[in-house]
Chains A and B, each alone.
Chain A
Amino acid sequence: MAENTAKKPPLLQVVDLHTSFTTDKGEVQAVNGVSFTLEEGKTLGIVGESGSGKSVTAYSIMQILEQNGHITQGQILFQGNDITHYSSKQMQDFRGKKCSIIFQDPMTSLNPVYTVGNQIMEAVLVHHEKSKAEARDIAINMLKLVGINDAERRFKQHPHELSGGMRQRVMIAMALASEPWILIADEPTTALDVTIQAQILELMQELQQKLNMAIIIVTHDLGVIAQMADEIVVMYGGRICERGTADEIFYHPAHEYTKGLLRSIPSVDNMKEKLVPIAGTPINLLNMPKGCAFCARCDNAMKICLEEVPPELPLPDGHYASCWMNVVNHNYVEEPADE
């Protein structure tokens, strides 16, 4: 961890991020002390169920939170500069040029009254000093890059004339038109069918290699994460349960929530067996327990889990987990319990 900071600062570093929303029922702490690092050209996956704070984390980076939401604590460092103190002018420059986002629903995130070409051109014209003709060429090239046949004709069409998969491609083209360093994909394929999902994920990986950009992919689908991510952050109740490389998270999970999640999904290995569900219901952010957010649903919850929030603990191979079980294991076992 320390050797990284000595060299060039990482592309994006989120440090102890807290984001909360003011609602009628009180202050909702949607993101509660989230830290992670994203390196150039890598893919970071953020997994969690609804209400885990995964999308809010993404929106906090872009600072596109709803009006009642605000970052209350923490830093977001882009190449070493804290963007939480940026003015709205500076943020405008950051959005699109440094970091772009694609949303879950391509049906509602495109403007229905403009042609798709117009919308992609806008992204170019806002961020670069280009003439309209140049922007048009870039837009058509982007449409070709994302694999849309007959790009010139599509350029002049409105979103309603395109299918869901095509619209998501247009969203990606728009996000990439200003050549960002980071692409944030918030559930990019949840609204799409599996065969179209495969097309889009493949496309994102291809473009990543071509343009050497970093991707943050936010999803609840562990299958998508396994395919895309180099590093994974698992979130529950606004906090990070654990983070590490994809192999570490999938093959040596160190948080009870991740373990439960992996047991509860149908996979090729457990087709003939009963699934092992996680008991209980997802957490209510208005009613957070004093200790670990997951303790009410955890089979191995101990006294301390109810009382104190577990600290983030380093494990071998760049793996961090916030679970008291690891503290117990570390104190009494030489090596972590898994193989």
Chain B
Amino acid sequence: MNNTVQNTEKNLVEVRDLQEYFPIRTGLFKKTMLKAVDGVNFSIKPGETLGLVGESGCGKTTVGRTLLRLYKPTGGQIFFDGNEVTDKNMQNYRKEMQMVFQDPYSSLDPRMTVEDIIGEPLDVHKLYKSKGERRDKILELMGLVGLNAEHATRYVHEFSGGQRQRIGIARALAVNPRFIVCDEPVSALDVSIQAQVINMFEELQEKLGVAYLFIAHDLLVVHHISDRIAVMYLGRIVETADADELNESPIHPYTLSLLSAVPIPDPNTARAQKRIILEGDVPSPLNMPSGCAFRTRCRYATEQCAKECPPLTDRGNGHLVACWCK
């Protein structure tokens, strides 16, 4: 497995053939494996943002959680800074990898003050010498995410959605991580607040050089914040490319229809937009089609697509596509 290590050196995070299967009871004694993530590969460089998009149920959240070992991976490897992350050494890497959750209402303890919430990771990792230092650190973090010092003693219910998300981000930043998994961090927020939080993510990246895995379903938001974008469909990555490249010249038929379906907030463009409307629904992950998972909704599907699953191949400039098309 060491044959590709020279490649991992430049990458902060690298994921190889990640698998996450959940056993689902389908009968009294029968269990079926739900393949939520089935062979995912990607890498993230220091200070880079990789956007992960896909529809609900495609496994994008599972990728984020498995990456941080909130779920035990069924198979595959995760490398951080060139070293493989395992169950045993994960604790060391908790300081390097953090997470911001989607729902700022349920991911913060209502019985803790803001100070305690942000201070908890500092306590766990013993990152201060005196009480005064702990408090200074907390106030510094609060300033970093745009919260006032007088908010420190308040409880979560006193804050609005955008402010709660800021608390969640401050908590993630407390241990000085180099990598943060952001799982739909702006989708629960009002439109007028989204921009504040997106800007803050970008500013923090400039200031601290953290790398993000930015999981979201809003393609315009992902395009705005990401350097590169990976598109997932039913547990597999179907296309990865530079953000602009992916939006200008998508190759995979799923990416094409996904991008054409995005409602553009501009009446003239919206009226002229040619939508590729996909037939039908996403198949159940319990009953995956053979070969390429997208073939049941793909208008270019051929016999080959039913037989074999297409591998991710490079189409130049690091634009990876998993499709049998040209």
Name the residue on B nearest A269 (C-beta).
B266
Q: How many residues of A contact B (CB 8 A)?
A: 45
The stretch from B19-27, B33-41, B177-185, B192-200 touching chain A is B192-200
B250-268 toward A: CB 8 Å interface, digit per residue (1/0)?
0000000110111111111
> Do A194 and B267 touch across chains, with their CB atoms under 8 A apart?
no
> Do B220 and A198 touch across chains, with their CB atoms under 8 A apart?
no
> Do B162 and A281 touch across chains, with their CB atoms under 8 A apart?
yes
Asked if A316 CB lies within 8 Å of chain B CBs, one says no
Name the residue on B nearest A197 (C-beta).
B261
Asked if A264 CB lies within 8 Å of chain B CBs, one says yes
Q: Known interface pairs A222-B191, A278-B195. Does A195 touch B162 (Cβ–Cβ under 8 Å)?
A: no
Q: Known interface pairs A196-B281, A268-B269, A274-B202. Does A261 touch B191 (Cβ–Cβ under 8 Å)?
A: yes
Report the minimum CB–CB distance from B163 to chain A (whole Å): 7
Q: With the chains together, A184 CA to B185 CA distance in Å?
A: 30
> Do A265 and B265 touch across chains, with their CB atoms under 8 A apart?
yes
Q: With the chains together, A196 CA to B58 CA distance in Å?
A: 14
> B264 touches which one: A246, A264, A267, A275 (CB < 8 A)?
A267
Name the residue on B nearest A281 (C-beta).
B160
Q: With the chains together, A227 CA to B261 CA distance in Å?
A: 11
B265-292 toward A: CB 8 Å interface, digit per residue (1/0)?
1111111010101100110000000000
> Do A281 and B244 touch across chains, with their CB atoms under 8 A apart?
no
Asked if A126 CB lies within 8 Å of chain B CBs, one says no
A193-228 toward B: CB 8 Å interface, digit per residue (1/0)?
111111101100000000000000000111111110
Q: Is the interface of B mostly helix, strand, loop or mixed?
A: helix
Report the minimum CB–CB distance from A296 to chain B (whole Å): 12
Contacts of A202 in B (CB 8 A): 275, 277
Report the minimum CB–CB distance from B190 to chain A (whole Å): 4
Name the residue on A nearest B219 (C-beta).
A194
Report the minimum CB–CB distance from B276 to chain A (whole Å): 8
Asked if B224 CB lies within 8 Å of chain A CBs, one says yes
> Do B195 and A264 touch across chains, with their CB atoms under 8 A apart?
yes
Q: How many residues of B contact A (CB 8 A)?
A: 43
> Do A267 and B278 touch across chains, with their CB atoms under 8 A apart?
no
Contacts of A277 in B (CB 8 A): 192-196, 199
Q: Known interface pairs A264-B195, A277-B196. Does A193 touch B277 (Cβ–Cβ under 8 Å)?
A: no
> Do A199 and B220 touch across chains, with their CB atoms under 8 A apart?
no
Asked if A260 CB lies within 8 Å of chain B CBs, one says yes
Report the minimum CB–CB distance from A209 to chain B (whole Å): 14
Report the minimum CB–CB distance from B169 to chain A (whole Å): 15
Q: Is the interface of A mostly helix, strand, loop or mixed?
A: helix
Contacts of B261 in A (CB 8 A): 194-195, 197-198
Q: With the chains together, A194 CA to B273 CA distance in Å?
A: 15
Contacts of B244 in A (CB 8 A): 271
> Do A282 and B278 touch across chains, with their CB atoms under 8 A apart?
no
Q: With the chains together, A261 CA to B275 CA distance in Å?
A: 25
> Do A227 and B263 touch across chains, with their CB atoms under 8 A apart?
yes
Among A88-110, those with CB < 8 Å from B are none
Asked if B152 CB lies within 8 Å of chain A CBs, one says no
> Do B190 and A282 touch across chains, with their CB atoms under 8 A apart?
yes
Report the minimum CB–CB distance from A269 to chain B (whole Å): 8
Asked if A152 CB lies within 8 Å of chain B CBs, one says no
Asked if A238 CB lies within 8 Å of chain B CBs, one says no
Chain A residues in contact with chain B, CB under 8 A?
Answer: 49-50, 163, 165-166, 193-199, 201-202, 220-227, 246-247, 250-251, 260-262, 264-268, 270-271, 274-279, 281-282, 297
Chain B residues in contact with chain A, CB under 8 A?
Answer: 55-56, 160, 162-163, 190-196, 198-199, 202, 217, 219-221, 223-224, 243-244, 257-258, 260-271, 273, 275, 277-278, 281-282
